[in-house]
Amino acid sequence: MKVRDLPTPSLVVDVDALDANIATMAAARPGRTLRPHVKAFKSTELARRVAELGGHQAFCCATLREMEGMADAGLGDDLLLANETLDAPRLRHLVDRGDARVTVAVDSPETVEVAAHAGAEVLVDVDVGLPRCGCRPEDAGRLAELARTRGLNVRGVMGYEGHVVGDPDRGRRAEKVAESMALLRRAHDDVGGDVTSAGGTGTYDLHDWAGEVQAGSYLLMDTHYAALGLPFRQALRLEVTVISTSPERGWGVVDCGLKSLGMDHGNPTISGWNVFFCSDEHTTFLADATGDSEGRALPAVGARLGVLPAHVDPTVAYHDRLHLVRGDEVIDVWPVDLRGW
């Protein structure tokens, strides 16, 4: 099948760009020093390719659904739920299946109790500057002690410097990572354990202390991360059709919008055109003088274009398939089988 024969909108993955991203990251952070985060792509087929080509055996998840799906796919060697859960029966069921090593983040006595009920291993989740989950560094040791009292294996600590990963200034990113890791190191001194887990795509090469980095966006990429000048290629695009044009008024419309693109990082990008706005199933682009589309004729109604998402994770979560392409050939289709909760 050719790419031009796909219905639109369809998510398309350039397999050579994906493989290049896997190789680039594996060279920088081989094997266990990277824990790829499946939340960014939600596909066990893609996870399998990362395991095979990148040589990474441990994965990171954001939901129980992702944990269960990875275990179903035989990718359960070492799964970390890098998030807090209060769903004790479901976590216990996952542990009881026995086909995955299950570790969960804990940051409170309540989440320790859930892990104890389930018999999961734990990492103490530490707030290193992002106002979200994670206990205060000074509380981490007490929480680890509580967990051990409850019979749990405390594997170590995690701390996600999510307030840093998107900073466009590399020097400042490095400085803030060091500040965050000083907090995590302090917590680790009190907690102990082999695992020190941190980071993301924007800081993957700025960690000299953390034992493993949690990165996922590097595989498919988006325009937000592309702005950081990282060595990863844009592997994901939305294949769309031009459904309307108005040369007199200077705009065209393609058939993707708020329901096929995560919008929290702003508008998507259409190379050569100025995106004006998105509605549910439409994106209007301009042929005006404010960008590089100046003076160009609008594409024909029926033409195909590629749209680059601003934020990969919530974009993929809208779709049920990834179409793997090489040039203009569709060579495989991978289900986005880790959607939902």
Binding site for a second copy (CB under 8 A): 7-10, 39, 62-63, 83-87, 90, 107-108, 110-111, 127, 131-136, 162, 241-246, 248-249, 251, 253, 255, 258-260, 262-264, 276-282, 284, 300-302, 311, 313-314, 317-320, 339-341
Cβ pair 17, 230 in contact under 8 A: no
Name 142's Cβ contacts closer than 8 Å, sequence gap at least 6.
none
Q: In whole angstroms, what separates CA 163 from the centre of its chain?
A: 15
Cβ pair 15, 331 in contact under 8 A: yes
Please tell me whether residue 121 adopts helix, strand or coil conformation: strand
Pick 53 or 301: Cβ nearer a second copy? 301
Q: Which two tokens stand for residue 24?
A: 């680039």
Please tell me whether residue 221 adopts helix, strand or coil conformation: coil
What is the sign, positive or negative, of the torsion defined by CA atoms of 258, 260, 264, 268?
A: negative
Pick 17 or 133: Cβ nearer a second copy? 133
Name 246's Cβ contacts closer than 8 Å, sequence gap at least 6.
252, 298
Pick 72 or 113: Cβ nearer a second copy? 113
Strand partners, 159: 198
Cβ pair 77, 57 in contact under 8 A: yes
CB of 287 vs a second copy, minimal distance in Å: 12
A 10 A CB-CB count for 19 gives 16
What is the sign, positive or negative, of the torsion defined by CA atoms of 29, 34, 37, 38?
A: positive
Pick 169 or 320: Cβ nearer a second copy? 320
CB of 336 vs a second copy, minimal distance in Å: 11
CB of 31 vs a second copy, minimal distance in Å: 26
Question: What is the pairing mode between strands 282-286 and 121-125?
Answer: unpaired
Pick 29 or 319: Cβ nearer a second copy? 319
Pick 10 or 293: Cβ nearer a second copy? 10
Q: How many CA atoms lie within 13 A of 266 on its CB side?
A: 7
Pick 26 or 41: Cβ nearer a second copy? 41
Radius of gyration of the chain (CA): 21
Task: Supply the DSSP symbol for 272.
Answer: T
Pick 54 or 262: Cβ nearer a second copy? 262
Ranges assigned E (strand) in the chain: 10-14, 58-61, 78-81, 102-106, 121-125, 154-159, 195-198, 212-213, 236-246, 251-254, 274-279, 282-286, 304-307, 321-326, 329-335
Pick 26 or 286: Cβ nearer a second copy? 286
